[in-house]
Structure 1
Amino acid sequence: MSLDKPSQGATSEECAARVMDTVPLVMRFIRSEMRAHKAAFLSIPQLRSLAFLNRSPGASLCDLADHLGVTSATASATTERLVQRNLVQRSHHPQERRRIVLNLTDEGKYHLQQSLDQTRTHIADLLKGLTAEEISHIEEGLALLKNVFEQTELNSP
């Protein structure tokens, strides 16, 4: 394993470049791992849909489409397949008849959780080769990144 050491005193631009290089690599690994486990019968957009609905119960079809970066028609087709597999429940909004509300079923939660647990275990196995100090550095960096990007979500419309 080659260690790409960060430079001391890196600028915010250099740090941003490192984030943009690293996050997609990590996300590709996570997606690949999640597909490799019990949820292998699900596509990446379907897994992303389940994860989004787990974080945002009661989301609308438009919310899901925005998250996936697809049209409402594509999100509707993805949702339909998940509904047919009893992983997502689709219902009408109580006050707005034309609005669709999406929620995970117990089976959907189970499959998502299984996939997340197995992926987390594999990541933990990869991190076992690091020292306690290296793990602490990763934890500190991730906490800082989470704080920065949570602020962008709080400030977005």
Structure 2
Amino acid sequence: MGLEQTSQKTTSKDCAAKVMETIPLVMRAIRADMRAIGSTTLSVPQFRTLAFLDRNPGTSLSDLAEHLGVTRATASATIERLVQRNYVHRNDHPQERRRVVLKLTEDGLHHLEQARKQTRDRIADLFSDLTQEQILQIEEGLILLKQVFEQTVEQRQTDYLESP
């Protein structure tokens, strides 16, 4: 193994460690800011639920539970609270009696958009003291990170669909 390969492996491992160290920190800061500024009256799992339903309209309770990393019962309780607030429509699937179809209501979408806007504004405030060059570096790094993970997710979905 040459020096370049060793250096590259070390660099990718160092980068992976930084990602694993940084992403949870960013998420904790976002959650804390959301609670502190009252950008939403939703819990983080409820907010994540609305965001998931926005990206995946008509999804099932099982898909939501998998996304949240919780049981179907926990996901069902979360959905029930959101239905009561008129943020989510829960309907029976037309062909599968035991399946539920979940969609955001207009109120749910509006609330999600408001929470996202307030959170984006707060993050923008955090970046306000950075130079344009620093902001561009962060943006370029995030674009690259997103591309890497999107490719990984797409490949795993393809592999899953092709497996016997």
Q: Structure 1 length as normaliser, TM-score?
A: 0.89
Asked if 2 retains the 8 angstrom alpha-carbon contact of 1:47 and 1:112, the reply is yes
TM-aligned CA deviation for residue 97 of structure 1: 2.1
Given residue 52 of structure 2, which amino acid in structure 1 is its aligned partner? F
Instruction: Considering fraction of residues, name the structure with more helix.
Output: 2
TM-aligned CA deviation for residue 48 of structure 1: 1.0
Deviations 1:2-29 (A, max 9, x none): xxxxxxx861000000001100011111
TM-aligned CA deviation for residue 46 of structure 1: 0.9
Asked if 2 retains the 8 angstrom alpha-carbon contact of 1:34 and 1:116, the reply is no
| Aligned residue-pair number | 148
Asked if 1 retains the 8 angstrom alpha-carbon contact of 2:39 and 2:115, the reply is yes
Q: Which residue of 2 is the match for residue 42 of structure 1?
A: 42
- Where structure 2 has 5 or more consecutive residues not aligned to the other structure, the ranges are 1-7
TM-aligned CA deviation for residue 42 of structure 1: 1.5
RMSD: 1.3
- Where structure 1 has 5 or more consecutive residues not aligned to the other structure, the ranges are 1-8
Separation of aligned partners in 2, 1:115 and 1:33: 11
Given residue 37 of structure 1, which amino acid in structure 2 is its aligned partner? G
SS of residue matched to 1:37: coil
Misfit runs of 4+, over 3 Å: none
TM-aligned CA deviation for residue 122 of structure 1: 0.8
SS of residue matched to 1:70: coil
Q: Which residue of 1 is the match for residue 55 of structure 2?
A: 55
TM-aligned CA deviation for residue 31 of structure 1: 1.8
Separation of aligned partners in 2, 1:38 and 1:19: 26
**Of the two, which has the highest radius of gyration?**
2
Separation of aligned partners in 2, 1:16 and 1:27: 17
Q: Which residue of 1 is the match for residue 128 of structure 2?
A: 128
Q: Which residue of 2 is the match for residue 64 of structure 1?
A: 64
